[in-house]
Amino acid sequence: MQLIRTLGHNNLMELADKQAPERHLDSKELVDVVVRFAGDSGDGMQLTGSNFTQATALHGNDLSTFPDFPAEIRAPVGATFGVSAFQIYFGAEDVTTAGDELDVLVAMNPAALITNLHNLVEGGLLIVDGGAFTAKNLTKAKYDRNPLEDGSLDGYRVLDIDISKQVLSAVESYDLGHKAALRCKNMWTLGLVLWLFDRDRHTIIDSLKAKFSGNPEIAGANVAALNAGHAYGETAELPAGIHVYKIPKAKVLPGTYRNITGTTALAWGLIAGSELANIDLLFASYPITPASNLLHELANRKQFRVNTFQAEDEIAAVCAAMGASFAGSLGVTSSAGPGIALKAEGMALGVAAELPLVIVNTQRGGPSTGLPTKTEQSDLNMALNGRHGDTPMPVLAAATPADCFEVAIEAVRLAIKYMTPVMLLSDGYLANAAEPWKIPDVDALEAFPVKHFDKPEGFKPSIRDSQTKARVWAKPGTPGLEHRIGGIERSFDTGDISYDPANHQAMTDLRRDKIAGISADIPLQKVCLGNEEASLAVVGWGSTYGAIHQAVKRARKLGLDVSHIHVRYIAPLPSNLGALLGKFDQILVPEMNTGQFVKLLRSEYLVPAESLSKVAGQPFKIGEILAAIQEALADSKGSAGASAVIGENS
Amino acid sequence: MNQPAVKLSLKDFASDQEVRWCPGCGDYAILKTIQKLMPELDRPRENQVFVSGIGCSSRFPYYMNTFGFHTIHGRAPAIATGVKLANEELDVWVITGDGDGFSIGGNHMLHVLRRNVDLQILLFNNEIYGLTKGQYSPTSASGTRSPSSPEGSIDMPLSPCEVALGAGGTFIARSIDTEAKHLSATVKRSHAHRGAAFVEILQNCPIYNDGIFDQVKDKKIAADFRVEVEHGEPLLFGKDKEKAIVLNRESLSLEVVAAAGNEDKILVHDEHNRVLAQLLAAMGGEGFPIAVGVLFSGSKSTFTEDTSAHLESVRKTGAALEDLLHSGHTWTVE
């Protein structure tokens, strides 16, 4: 039996295709919809998407969004590699991913169409700016013939509008040049899509007025374009099958909500952590995609107990953070894969010197420069093992954008309590994706105030907490605590340099036991969806949460005996995880790498876990995981009926 | 506030650790001078932090009864920056060597100097890698025979003071390991300087590079091979101060002339003149003395001062986490 099975992407797509394509747009009331706005980098698609997200959140739908932008800062106009897109999945039920196939694609030019059309479902709605389908743009997108004219789009509902022309006439009363007037195209399109899904325009109008408060002409033109797009939907004769769609409000817990990206949630979690610990935080970092936004966010939050330092390189960043920790603040550093590799020696010093430190890795496609703007989970092995020596370190992984808040607080707590560097794993998807977040009650967050050591009598830098085994935190400036620490092995008893063989064994054991002991200080692993005992457990970590959750939910609706387990604490693992996994006949581990976590589970627990691997720079689709669940359970006895059910539906 | 409660002595600054440099190493002399200087600085012992990288010199913090952090190769300036950012009350010292400071850690040295982080950086320059057993270093003279350059090194050496000036350092000085009085005075001035203070200390390695600084150290001949610069004083040297440094205005280079008869042309040291400092830092070689003392001292606000001022201004109005979480668009579900 082949125990590690890796499904290639093509194979996955085939399985996903077995799913019944839902003819979503036939009915006027829908449970959920996926919309993607795609255009040139300069077309303002990210702004369009975030405004639509705002309106959708206020409308009361649950949602998840994912911006997908090119690595090039200013790609040539009309180029396929310059296409910038923003995807939103919203609906009346819980939404945990940005969605698989598109129900609606907005394509502002031929390049946006050719790069995104393959994701549009059959019968889906395609809104195109026909005015942008010029011979020049078609050539740039490598179209031999105009797809709007050759019948190749017959399987879709096509709304072909010369948006440029519409916009120019909508804003002609404003004193704008031709170029500035055309820049309102995105707002015209937004107006149309807002009409399509019956969304309110007023908050967007307010925010446009605020954004362009210094330039009333531009503000007025944008509002006029937005209103004109909306009016177009109301008044124009549209092709059959295109009408207003209603999506009922989602049932969500009472509370105050906001949209939040993983980057913002992580930054705010670090701020919250410093407040709960009652300690200053130095965030030292070096620019790298997709981690830089964390530096930007915190650089704007220095009114809290946060200071930021843009170091000269990745190594200086981890070292400055560690210097701050030595001096009694909490040092935090952040990067993406290649930068984390550069920090390895610094992290190991943190382990040796036993200083608190948080290292955030916003993972991206690797190896080397790899795919800087795309997402991946391939730094897990590095997080667990990527240091010289026996150098154990806690590793935590955030599951959703909002989860980054809680995980950041937890990383701060563990780093301080156990005097250790802690690795926090995020990724490009989590960093940029957004979801509604029920804002927590700040007063209900549990404080863990730091108490720096201050008793000179009998002080030694090697004094430890008997329970946590954490070394004392004796900061410079405290009389009587003068001491030296460093990277050379230290005596267990005195903290002074020691080359004694038995001492090195004792210190190595201590470092191992200290980190392993954290498993008693973290929650037991829970099953997040499904039964505690079943035919199949889908076990994930990190940003695959959303896609796994939806896939397991759908599989369970189909009657399949499957549960979802999502692991936040990867080192040390929760103490009950092995026993829990033992209650499942099969274990499937989807991850965006070639099977790093699955190998950990297999080596830790000797369980026959199987890998579902995807390394395409894109998040898993729900259908891909659902297909793998069906395949796994079709292999086992008694589940053949489940497959048949799907067949009947299609 | 920032003074010791009781008067301290040399003994208060010596740790209980056995000093383990090779017999005859210049580091002993430097250690003794610094330990002796510390009480004179009249600062609380608990506010003294010594940060080092890797190398013979980087063992220094273990022997000081202060706070000390022996870190990783080349990174002491970065770690010291973090220490100072976390608590600007601390006196932070960086102890480094020619390999640590200008080879593996060269990048950090440039940036800590240009940022003007308020630190004292003491560079023990013995022009060799000692701890790894004698390979040539970035300051070794061309042709240095070593285990890794058996035929003689072919690299051109760099000049620490020139590089430090080029990086925008605001205090650049040079001294000698065994010249206790000169070294002590120079380091004392580096401590008084606001900003990054860089002191190159010529240090003898008796094992792998013995005697390379004999010309400037040997009492019998040193007067002919070094000029001790003092702000406002003419640049004279030789046993009877009979030789002088002048500027050749055609070639913009320094020349050595007889003091007698050239009185009106002799250069007077101006430590605030960066161009003169560059010329003095580079001076050496056939017929020239090397300059020791404070080559340059400029005035500029420090990185830590500017950071604190910025933090103070943005923190004038309090901030509440609650408000942050509720900032921007929110909506309430009943």
The token pair at B219 is 């009492």
Confidence of residue A638 (pLDDT cuts 50, 70, 90): very low
B4 has a pLDDT exceeding 90? no
CA distances from A612 to A418, A515, A619, B76 (A): 34, 29, 13, 44
The token pair at A587 is 């274990």
For B205, the enclosing helix (H) or strand (E) is none
For the residues of B134-179, what is the DSSP string, one character each?
S-B-TTSPTT--BTTBTT---SPPP-HHHHHHHTT-SEEEEEETT-
Phi-psi map region of A434: left, alpha, beta (phi>0 left; psi -120 to 50 alpha): beta
Q: Is B2 on the interface with A (CB under 8 A)?
A: no
Alpha carbon distance B193, B50 (integer Å): 17
What does the pLDDT look like over A372-423, one tens digit per residue? 989 999 999 999 999 999 999 999 999 999 999 999 999 999 999 999 999 9
Looking at the complex, report in whole angstroms how far the Cα of residue A143 sits from the nearest Cα belonging to chain B: 42
Q: Are A570 and A396 in contact (CB under 8 A)?
A: yes
A285 has a pLDDT exceeding 50? yes
Q: What is the pLDDT of residue A445?
A: 97
Looking at the complex, report in whole angstroms how far the Cα of residue B44 sits from the nearest Cα belonging to chain A: 8
A643 has a pLDDT exceeding 50? no
Alpha carbon distance A489, B254 (integer Å): 50
The token pair at B199 is 């002191």
A67 has a pLDDT exceeding 90? no
* CB contact (8 A) between residue A476 and residue B67: yes
Of B164, B156, B106, B108, nearest to B136 by C-alpha is B156
List residues bridging with A423 in a β-sheet: A359, A395
What does the pLDDT look like over A238-284, one tens digit per residue? 888 889 999 999 888 899 999 999 999 999 999 999 999 999 999 99
What does the pLDDT look like over A542-594, one tens digit per residue? 999 999 999 999 999 999 999 999 999 999 999 999 999 999 999 999 999 99
Give, as one character, the DSSP assignment of residue A479: T
Q: Identify the closest residue of chain A to B2 by CA–CA distance.
A: A477
Q: Is B78 on the interface with A (CB under 8 A)?
A: yes
The token pair at A562 is 């499957």
Start-end of H helices in A117-215 = 135-140, 163-170, 178-182, 185-196, 202-211
CA distances from A300 to A404, A430, A465, A515 (A): 19, 21, 37, 34
Of A107, A33, A36, nearest to A67 by C-alpha is A36
Q: Is B80 on the interface with A (CB under 8 A)?
A: yes
Q: Are A199 and A59 in contact (CB under 8 A)?
A: yes
For the residues of A346-359, what is the DSSP string, one character each?
HHHHHHHHT--EEE
Say if residue A310 is exposed, middle or buried (CB neighbours under 10 Å; 0-12, 13-18, 19+): middle
The token pair at A305 is 């107990």
Q: Is A58 on the interface with B (CB under 8 A)?
A: yes
Q: Is B6 on the interface with A (CB under 8 A)?
A: no
Q: Identify the closest residue of chain B to A440 by CA–CA distance.
A: B325
Start-end of H helices in A24-157 = 45-59, 110-116, 135-140
Q: What is the pLDDT of residue A25?
A: 78
Of A582, A577, A592, nearest to A337 by C-alpha is A592
* CB contact (8 A) between residue B310 and residue A302: yes
Give, as one character, the DSSP assignment of residue B14: B
Distant-in-sequence, close-in-space partners of B87: CB < 8 Å, separation ≥ 6: A327, A328, A329, A475, A476, A477
Q: What is the pLDDT of residue A500?
A: 97
Of B31, B107, B100, nearest to B72 by C-alpha is B100
Query: Which A positions 482-511 lie with beta carbon below 8 A of chain B?
Result: 482-488, 496-497
Residues of B in contact with A257 (CB under 8 A): 330-333
Q: What is the mean pLDDT of residues B295-311?
A: 97
Handedness of CA A110, A111, A113, A117 (dihedral sign): positive
Alpha carbon distance B313, A117 (integer Å): 51
Q: What is the pLDDT of residue A3?
A: 34
Handedness of CA A5, A8, A14, A18 (dihedral sign): positive
Q: What is the mean pLDDT of residues A520-532?
A: 97
Which of A14-23, A331-340, B13-22 is least confident?
Answer: A14-23
CA distances from A400 to A75, A429, A431, A433, A630 (A): 30, 9, 9, 9, 25
Say if residue A412 is exposed, middle or buried (CB neighbours under 10 Å; 0-12, 13-18, 19+): buried
Q: Are strands B171-176 and B197-202 parallel, antiparallel or unpaired?
A: parallel
Residues of A in contact with B322 (CB under 8 A): 442
A351 has a pLDDT exceeding 70? yes
Q: What is the pLDDT of residue B1?
A: 53
Q: Is A271 on the interface with B (CB under 8 A)?
A: yes
Q: What is the mean pLDDT of residues A618-640?
A: 84
Sheet of A281-285: strand order equals A306-310, A281-285, A330-335, A357-363, A421-427, A395-397, A569-571
Q: What is the pLDDT of residue B206?
A: 96
- Determine the straight-line distance between the first and last CA of chain A, rounded to whole angstroms: 32
Nearest to B334 among A254, A284, A483 (CB): A254
Alpha carbon distance B238, B244 (integer Å): 9
Q: Are strands B236-237 and B243-248 parallel, antiparallel or unpaired?
A: antiparallel
Which of A10-24, A147-161, A578-592 is least confident?
Answer: A10-24
Confidence of residue A175 (pLDDT cuts 50, 70, 90): confident
Alpha carbon distance A332, A476 (integer Å): 19
Residues of B in contact with A307 (CB under 8 A): 85, 307, 311
Q: Is A316 on the interface with B (CB under 8 A)?
A: yes
List residues bridging with B199 in a β-sheet: B122, B173
* CB contact (8 A) between residue B46 and residue A480: yes
Query: Which B positions 121-160 lie with beta carbon below 8 A of chain A?
Result: none
Query: Which B positions 97-126 lie with beta carbon below 8 A of chain A?
Result: 107-108, 110-111
Of A487, A325, A316, A326, nearest to B112 by C-alpha is A316
Max CA distance (Å), chain A: 87
Q: Would you state the torsion angle of the CA atoms of residues A451, A452, A458, A459, taken in this order, to the nearest 10 degrees? A: 150
| Radius of gyration, alpha carbons of chain A | 27
Nearest to B82 among A324, A477, A487 (CB): A324
The token pair at A422 is 């802690």
Show the beta-strand stretches assigned E in A394-533.
395-397, 421-427, 434-438, 484-486, 527-529
Q: What is the pLDDT of residue A23?
A: 55
What are the counts of helices (DSSP H) followed by strands (DSSP E) for chain A? Answer: 23, 21
Q: What is the mean pLDDT of residues A300-307?
A: 97
The token pair at A270 is 């670090």
A72 has a pLDDT exceeding 80? no
Instruction: Please tell me which residue, A598 or A54, carries the higher pLDDT value.
Output: A598
Nearest to B70 among A322, A325, A486 (CB): A486
Of A531, A598, A527, nearest to A560 by C-alpha is A531
Query: Which A positions 282-311 lie with beta carbon below 8 A of chain B?
Result: 282, 284, 301-304, 307, 309, 311
Q: What is the mean pLDDT of residues A331-360?
A: 98
Q: What is the pLDDT of residue A14?
A: 45
A644 has a pLDDT exceeding 70? no
| Radius of gyration, alpha carbons of chain B | 22
* CB contact (8 A) between residue A312 and residue B44: no
Residues of A in contact with B108 (CB under 8 A): 312, 315-316, 319
% helix / strand / coil in chain A, to the nearest 5?
A: 40, 20, 40
Confidence of residue A630 (pLDDT cuts 50, 70, 90): very high
Average pLDDT taken over every residue of chain A:
92
Angle between helical axes of A45-59 and A202-211 (0-180°, round to 10): 140
Percent of chain A surpassing pLDDT 90: 83
Confidence of residue A636 (pLDDT cuts 50, 70, 90): low
CA A153-A71-A107 angle, 5° bins:
20
CA distances from B258 to A191, B220, B238 (A): 87, 20, 10
The token pair at B180 is 């206790």
Q: What is the pLDDT of residue A30?
A: 85
